Amino acid sequence: MWRSVFLHEFIDRIGNFQALPGRPTPPSFLLAPSDAAVPGVNAVAISPGSGFEHLLDAPLTEVVGVSIRVRLLYPVLSSQSQMFSVVRLGGAAEFLFWPLEVLPDQSGTVALARVWVGSGFNNLGHVVLPGERFVEFRFDWHASGQARILADGRLVAYHNAVAPGALLSFDRVAFGMGNVQPPSARPHYYVSRVFVRALSRHDALAHLSRLLPKVAPVPDVDRCRRRIIGNALAVVDRLRAFMGGVHANLSQPWTDEAGPAGGPFRPEAIEAHALATAAVGALVAMLRTGDFAAPERFLEPFGRFLRILRDAQPQAFAGLSAELDAIEVVPQDCRAAFEATEEDKVAFAPIIQLLTQANDLVRAIAGGN
């Protein structure tokens, strides 16, 4: 579902990377990996005026999620106070640090983590940039409005309302501080790994469609498939907007430094995430194996998940239920296209029954049951 856009481990040379089809700009090849920062760890020295830019042959559009990982070292001796860019996705998103002060023991620098998503900056909070070792910082954003930063896998900053509902488009991936010739000779920071992933509106549905039974080709099946995908995307878009409000109610902006001590998420948010994961896992397992003998494996966690959403936003949930009920994902005139043979009917019957039960569950919970 998530698509790998760019990956570089800096094992030997700057051109040895994996990426979606495209081409680096010529100045990018001037970066030369070495282990000057930490012996045995290859990295590139980033200084004002140096960087890497990969132009995509085909821009990514309707992106609803991005995940950026950068293994970075910021020497205390750098003592630069200006904000610097870590990774940019065209003009759509950017991950930045603004160094503020050196720690008293000289072990690192306190910096403000900032992000640009869609059309504006958001401050996610203060983090520590260790000065003597590489740390893998991970920035995740989703169109539901959630944004977070992890350092070596540990959550250090979270925001619950960063550009909710935005759809991003970008035609390049860049890291560093721009290509200005000649660049400064003094390193500002070091990068030993860059990994960028993206999630588009269509990726999740494409993954799900590959798990469905194959239907015999009949006239108009492609036309119906396009209509169904469009209807399903309308449902997903509406759910994404609703979840933005839920996240705002069940979480709060948070940093490891300032707290609050309990973390950014209310207990209901943690439980909802676990239930959603369980429900999706059960549904995918059913589709993969064709075994629908125990529908409660999906319906039970799905129902508990829905009740948490309803309790978080009762009026909005009732409106959501009514809107979804009005969307006919599979139009009546298209159903025959997916039941062309008796074999198709047998294959799709348990799926249709499960989804009907799920729809009935949404109605019942919206009605207060």
Q: What is the pLDDT of residue 37?
A: 87
Q: What is the pLDDT of residue 229?
A: 67
Task: Pick from 27-36, 39-48, 168-177 the range whose average pLDDT is largest.
Answer: 168-177
More confident residue, 96 or 119: 96
More confident residue, 322 or 111: 111
Q: Are 286 and 322 in contact (CB under 8 A)?
A: no
Does this model's pTM top 0.85? My answer is no
Confidence of residue 49 (pLDDT cuts 50, 70, 90): confident
| 159 has pLDDT over 90 | yes
Mean per-residue pLDDT, 338-345: 61
> What is the domain class of 3-200 according to CATH?
mainly beta
Tens-digit pLDDT profile for residues 193-249: 999 999 988 776 666 666 666 655 555 566 666 676 677 667 777 777 788 888 888
Phi, psi of 50 (to 5 degrees): -120, 150
Q: To the nearest whole percent, how much of the chain has pLDDT over 90?
A: 35
| 283 has pLDDT over 90 | no
R_g (Cα) of the chain, nearest Å? 24
More confident residue, 209 or 366: 366
Mean per-residue pLDDT, 311-332: 80
Task: Pick from 7-11, 153-157, 225-229 the range whose average pLDDT is largest.
Answer: 153-157
Q: What is the pLDDT of residue 325?
A: 75
More confident residue, 129 or 262: 129
Q: Rounded to a whole number, what is the distance in angstroms from the first to the last CA of the chain?
A: 34
| 346 has pLDDT over 90 | no
Q: What is the pLDDT of residue 344?
A: 61
| 26 has pLDDT over 90 | no
| 287 has pLDDT over 60 | yes
Residues of the chain with CATH 2.60.120.200: 3-200
More confident residue, 120 or 92: 92
* Tokens coding 246: 């839920």
Q: What is the pLDDT of residue 353?
A: 81
Q: What is the pLDDT of residue 64?
A: 92
Cα-based distances in Å from 263 to 136, 155, 158, 176, 183: 21, 9, 9, 32, 42
Task: Pick from 12-21, 222-231, 322-331 the range whose average pLDDT is largest.
Answer: 12-21
Mean per-residue pLDDT, 243-265: 85
Work out the mean pLDDT of the chain and round it to a whole number. 84
| 105 has pLDDT over 70 | yes
For every residue of 60-101, DSSP letters joined together read EEEEEEEEEEEEEE--GGG---S-EEEEEETTTEEEEEEEEE
Confidence of residue 43 (pLDDT cuts 50, 70, 90): very high
Confidence of residue 184 (pLDDT cuts 50, 70, 90): low
For every residue of 262-274, DSSP letters joined together read T-SB-HHHHHHHH
Cα-based distances in Å from 144 to 64, 92, 103, 231, 299: 8, 16, 35, 19, 24
Cα-based distances in Å from 147 to 62, 83, 153, 257: 18, 20, 15, 17
Confidence of residue 261 (pLDDT cuts 50, 70, 90): confident
Q: Are 124 and 258 in contact (CB under 8 A)?
A: no
